Amino acid sequence: MGRVAFIPWTKFQNADEFAGYVRKWNSANTHSGHQWTIVMWKDKTAAATMGNLGFGSTIRIVGHGEAGSHKISCDEAGSNGLSYEAVFDRLVTSGLKRSFAGTIDCHSCSSGVPRPGSQSFAAKLANHLRLNGYLLISVVGYFGDLNADYFDNGGKYVHKYVEMFGGEVKKKWARMRF
């Protein structure tokens, strides 16, 4: 199983912020010890990396988001916003195959939260993937603001948290599969 942190921007569009987070994830003392391969849009190695992902792999799309928005952006100000269709196009041009049988993790704040009359980013991306023949993919969105770093809660390992309902919960308890 592979793990790819997909940054749908180039290094000239503030993508280095996200690459820094991924490097921190790779050095964190987690129970799983997962290592993430960084793939930026238009990276020369993207097609080889994305095209060789096996069954059960995870592609974590990183960006900034908000509830009910159909876009993610490369900074908190909303610069260089990308719609779910644009993210899909960048995944495909980066080598995502229709036979990919794994998870796409929309790793942005409130990616699983709709607003009245507006589906969440993760739901829209999942629908768009299926309409385009990507039928073996599970898409994950989150119900609150994600912390980019791992935190030590005094246990043996560190964990990622989501801020919601006036507190923080482990990331695994604040997600929805689409």
132 confidence band (pLDDT: 50, 70, 90): very high
What's the pLDDT tens digit per position in 20-73? 777 776 665 555 667 788 898 888 889 899 989 999 999 999 999 999 999 999
Closest listed residue to residue 26, CA positions, set 149, 132, 130, 117: 149
Compute the average pLDDT of residues 83-107.
Answer: 96
Compute the average pLDDT of residues 132-137.
Answer: 97
Q: Which domain holds residue 156?
A: 3-177
Number of structural domains, the chain? 1
Q: How far is CA 80 from CA 86, 118, 125, 164, in A?
A: 11, 21, 18, 26
Higher pLDDT, 173 or 105: 105
- Residue 57 phi/psi, 5-degree rounding, is -75, 165
Burial class of residue 35 in the structure, from the number of CB atoms within 10 Å of its CB (0-12 exposed, 13-18 middle, 19+ buried): exposed
The answer to whether 141 touches 178, Cβ cutoff 8 Å, is: yes
CATH of residue 161:
3.40.50
